[in-house]
Amino acid sequence: MKIISYNINGIRSVINKGFCSWLKINNPDIVCLQEIKAFSNQINTKLFEEIGYYNYWYPSIKKGYSGVGILSKQKPKHVEYGIGLKSIDQEGRVLRVDIKKYKISIISLYLPSGSNMIKRLKYKFLFMKNFFLYIKKLKCKLNNIIICGDYNICHNKIDIHDPIANKNISGFLPKERKWITNFIKLGFIDSFRNYIKKGENYSWWNYRYNSRNLNKGWRIDYIMVSNYLKNRMINCYHLSNIKYSDHCPVVLEII
């Protein structure tokens, strides 16, 4: 079974670039998408249905901004939109499906960026606090959670190309990095790091400065897996050669 997490930086853009043909060839069982940047009625959902996917979308109320989606070969028994807080949910950042056949609950997460450190960093920390509490509560009911997404945080020094120059930049602030540590302590495995220990493996590159060709990137996309599912994990890796957006897909294989 193959699960893909991918910040696509615009669903309509990647569709125009041949994303659906790529999906058909690779045939993942579940795909978690972030930053769809479209309302549900702006997405040609028939393209996904034709290649065998049930598809669910949770857009931001703001036009052309944020939003998440999930594609699944199996129809979920339950779909949950948001975490129940209007201030958080209006940006369309959390979508969960519970799939009986796979015996998993999977979340597509798009954690806010704090790159505008005056306007958005405070909101990012508010989101982090409330999402942490939401997952802590959810884990009391579900022990089979997989959280795929763009966390907009590099956890350790090996997850960023220049930890010294970026030490005071949102995405690598001590408080953000500690949040990832504490999140893992809730009972999750950073699936990529479970298999790949070396650095210079990134999932996002700035469009400017020739960053991708120079591999000056950040690892901010994760698939966090509940400890309960550890024995079902087979592998996790990046598809760094796939360039539909400024991120690359993260792939988890489980049984």
Which CATH number goes with the domain that contains 138?
3.60.10.10
> 208: buried, middle or exposed (CB in 10 Å: 19+, 13-18, 0-12)?
exposed
Distance CA 217, CA 137 (A): 33
- pLDDT of 133 over the 80 cut: yes
8-state DSSP, 111:
P
> Which of the following is catalytic: 150, 190, 221, 246?
150
Beta bridge partners of 101: none
Average pLDDT over residues 155-165: 98
Residue 115 confidence (pLDDT): 81
Q: What's the pLDDT at 227?
A: 98
Q: Is the pTM above the cut of 0.95?
A: yes
> 152 by DSSP, 3-state: which?
coil
Dump pLDDT digits (tens) for 61-81: 999 999 999 999 999 999 999
Give the tokens for residue 18.
């041949």
DSSP 3-state of 56: strand
pLDDT tens, residue by residue, 197-230: 999 999 999 999 999 999 999 999 999 999 999 9
Please, are residues 72 and 108 in contact by the beta-carbon 8 Å criterion?
Answer: no
Owning domain of residue 30: 2-254
In angstroms, the CA 93 to CA 18 distance is 25
Render pLDDT for 45-56 as a digit per residue (tens, 0 to 9): 999 999 999 999
Q: 149: Cβ–Cβ under 8 A, 6 or more apart, which residues?
A: 5, 7, 32, 34, 68, 107, 108, 109, 110, 111, 221, 222
190 as an active site residue: the answer is no
So what's the pLDDT on residue 134?
Answer: 98
pLDDT of residue 181: 98
Torsion over CA of 64, 67, 73 and 75, rounded to 10 degrees?
A: -120
189's tokens: 């495995």
| Encoded tokens for 208 | 């400017």
pLDDT in the model for residue 118: 79
- Quote the CA–CA distance of 168 and 184 in Å, as a whole number: 23
pLDDT at 117 over 90: no
Domain count, the chain: 1
Average pLDDT over all residues of the chain:
97
User: Are the CB atoms for 31 and 134 separated by under 8 Å?
Assistant: no
Q: How far apart are CA 162 and CA 248, in angstroms?
A: 19
